[in-house]
Structure 1
Amino acid sequence: MSTIQAVVLAIVEGLTEFLPISSTGHMVMVSSLMGIGKEDFTKFFEIAIQLGAILAVVVLYWRKFINFKSWKFYAKLIVGVIPALIFGKLLSNTIDELLMDPTYTALAILGGGVILLFIDNMFYKVAVKEEKDITFKNAIIIGLCQCAALIPGVSRSAASIIGGLQQKLSRKLAAEFSFFLAVPTMAAATGYKLWEILKLHPEALHNSANLKSLLVGNVVAFVIAFLTMRFFVDFLKKHGFRFFGWYRICAGLIFLLMVKMNQIR
């Protein structure tokens, strides 16, 4: 993997991780187009640069994450992440099988786009506008909704935000709570996957070029994710989800075409 390829993938990660458009699908498409999709280090890299995106959440909302007096904030995140940890472990083999066939990812991106076209009209009543007003029941239900993202292509961001809207959170708060919930969810999933890969391929960190790619990738992913989150919240408040719905439909069709042409296997 060249430095330019690392930067491109990191930009894709930073742009797509917190938008409701599926980072997994976009990473698969872009890495395949660059001809590095099947390389072992690419798979490791795509997981490792999520750490930069996670750090972006903590830095952007540092007042929340270092306010140790607000124990309920941390407790809600713990409650919210438990369903994903349980179902992720129970369904790990099934998830791996789905990842083997990119058609499922393409269909999930496409189907998710259709759903997003109707979300603004489905969930428009707002009863919760502040994080302190989110109950533990709200958190557990949002966490259960997040589990839909275990299906490749669904989008963790989309699933958790829709869960928040269903619980009558405002668009802004639903997006922000999705960001907050990403920290323990992604940290646990990323850490576990990296540990598994390093057991099989410990040489991944013994190569100076690989280490350079990881460093550059995490820095770029951090910066792009930071900027994307700031943009997304404002955009969502003003325009809703229809743009992302149409975008996903287009991306899903392109993905299916690439699968049909054997560009992604």
Structure 2
Amino acid sequence: MDIVLLIKAALMGIVEGLTEFLPISSTGHLILAGSLLDFTGEKAKVFEIAIQTGAMFSVMWEYRERLRRTVLGITHDPVAQRFALNVLIAFMPAVVLGLSFGAVIKAHLFRPVPVALAFIAGGLIILAVEHRHRRLYGALDLAGKRHARVETVDEMSYLDALKVGLLQCLALIPGTSRSGATIIGGLVLGLSRKAATEFSFYLGIPTLMGAGAYSVWKQRELLRWDDLPMFAVGTVTAFFAALLCIRWLIRYVSTHDFVPFAWYRIVFGVVVLATAWSGAVTWAA
């Protein structure tokens, strides 16, 4: 058993768990972390997608009561039926576009410099959206008073779900951030911070677990039974790191905006570009 490889897998799992639900791009961070740890190649790409399942298990654990009620009420409870259908509707655009363009995107954009550029662009978009929110709502935005058109996940319409699903497709570009696209996009669509954040969590369950299963199956010839400990370590560490992140983020959005994440993205992206340009860091593809 390669202990160094397992340590790298654990570090990658921690990176995945801590970044999956924040608007800073887990995929982008995994690409950059993999480059620094010399954890690259086709098998590493499969690993990076597969361990997202660990982060999704943390959502299922944290919201297990809501998911249980949905499963038990799917045949007779209108609230459960609407919630499940909204998640399904939002999930479908990523399936269609991911299957159509996923291979092309991986071939050309899964590199540190395009990721850094997406970091910066995403940060600027977050700043613009938060500026719009402050201009429209001022202190009401974080004061606990109703101002959003949709305050809870259960108030979302099918059209709301479809729009969020289309926005999620932007995350096919590494560095964009699935959570950023759905949460920040949800704010623009009129969702409250809590509703946008929670729906992003729920939508991630079929999206990322499906992507992980598909990636492992498609690249199964690359994998051996000897790889199982590496995948297990990455998945488990991603679960625990993500669980901590979920609990923190729900508290955070009740009293804060996403401006700090925007500046983090911009600064991080600039550092990556500067080190790549100067040769201080050799970023591997």
Q: What is the TM-score of this pair, normalised by structure 2?
A: 0.86
1:9 and 2:29 equivalent?
Answer: no
1:172-251 equivalences under 5 Å are 172-198=194-220, 200-201=221-222, 204-207=223-226, 210-251=227-268
Aligned mate of 2:113, from 90, 103, 120: 103
1:128 alignment partner in structure 2: 150
2:142 alignment partner in structure 1: none
2:192 alignment partner in structure 1: 170
Q: Tell me how far 1:246 sits from its aligned partner.
A: 0.6
Q: Tell me how far 1:181 sits from its aligned partner.
A: 0.5
Q: Tell me how far 1:99 sits from its aligned partner.
A: 2.6
Alignment: residue pair count? 259
2:276 alignment partner in structure 1: 259
- Unaligned regions of 5+ residues in structure 1, if any? none
Match of 1:66, SS state, is helix
CA–CA separation in structure 1 for the residues paired with 2:16 and 2:228: 18
CA contact (8 A) 1:84 1:185 kept: yes
Q: Which aligned runs of 4 or more in structure 1 are off by greater than 6 angstroms? A: none
1:53 alignment partner in structure 2: 55
- Unaligned regions of 5+ residues in structure 2, if any? 74-79, 138-146
Identity of aligned residues (%): 38
CA contact (8 A) 2:127 2:259 kept: yes
Moved more, 90-99 or 132-141: 90-99
Q: What is the TM-score of this pair, normalised by structure 1?
A: 0.92
Match of 2:24, SS state, is coil
1:56-135 equivalences under 5 Å are 56-67=58-69, 68=71, 69=73, 70-123=80-133, 124=137, 125-135=147-157
1:42 alignment partner in structure 2: 44
Q: Tell me how far 1:215 sits from its aligned partner.
A: 1.6
CA contact (8 A) 1:50 1:221 kept: yes
CA contact (8 A) 2:111 2:284 kept: no
Query: For each residue in 1:205-247, what CA deviation from the matched residue of structure 2 results, as whole angstroms up to 9, or x when unmatched?
Result: 321xx32222222111101101101111221221201100010
Moved more, 118-127 or 102-111: 118-127
CA–CA separation in structure 2 for the residues paired with 1:121 and 1:134: 24
